[in-house]
Amino acid sequence: MLYDFSSAFNTIQPHILCDKLISYDIRPSIVLWVLDYLTSRPQFVQLNASINSDVLTTNMGAPQGTVLSPFLFSLYTSDSRSSNDDCVFDKYADDTVQIGLITDNDDSVYVEQKDVFINWCKNNYLVLNVEKTKEMIIDFLLILPT
């Protein structure tokens, strides 16, 4: 399963990220810096260097186009992992792939881990883009007609 998040970096909840950083024994001064970086951020749109939108202050998400945002998102999602060796999650920034081994047509572990991940997303305020999330099944036992 190839998961796609809707506006991944924009949906980071700073308080949840900071709780996770604390659980990873990150120094409190760094946690406070991250919280300050992600909250009360003014933003606006500028067009042709002469037209500006109103300033909006945001208290969630990570700025787009920065080096730090993919890293913060990786930390934010680092606690989403499989609890079964027959199903693993590979992640890079905002891309997540679930790889499951299905034996004897028993996909129960795969489906269970998919459900666990979907619930984890809900609990962490991440929205999956159902239009871009895709499932691919590869059957190594399938014999093609000659």
In this structure, is residue 94 part of a structural domain?
yes
Where in the sequence is the domain holding 26, given as residue range(s)?
A: 2-41+56-123
Please check whether residue 51 lies inside any domain of the structure.
no
For residue 6, tell me if it sits in a domain: yes
How many structural domains is the chain composed of?
1
Helix locations, 1-67, DSSP H: 14-23, 28-38
pLDDT value for 35 = 97
Nearest to 44, CA basis, from 53, 36, 35: 53
Residue 112 CB neighbour total at 10 angstroms: 15
Residue 8 belongs to some domain of the structure: yes
Tell me: pLDDT of 143 over 80.
no
| Residue 119: inside a domain | yes
Gap between the Cα atoms of 25 and 140, Å rounded? 43
pTM tops 0.85, yes or no: no
| 16 belongs to a structural domain | yes
- Per-residue pLDDT at 137: 83
Q: Is the pLDDT of residue 139 over 80?
A: no
- Whether residue 13 lies inside any domain: the answer is yes
135 domain-assigned: no
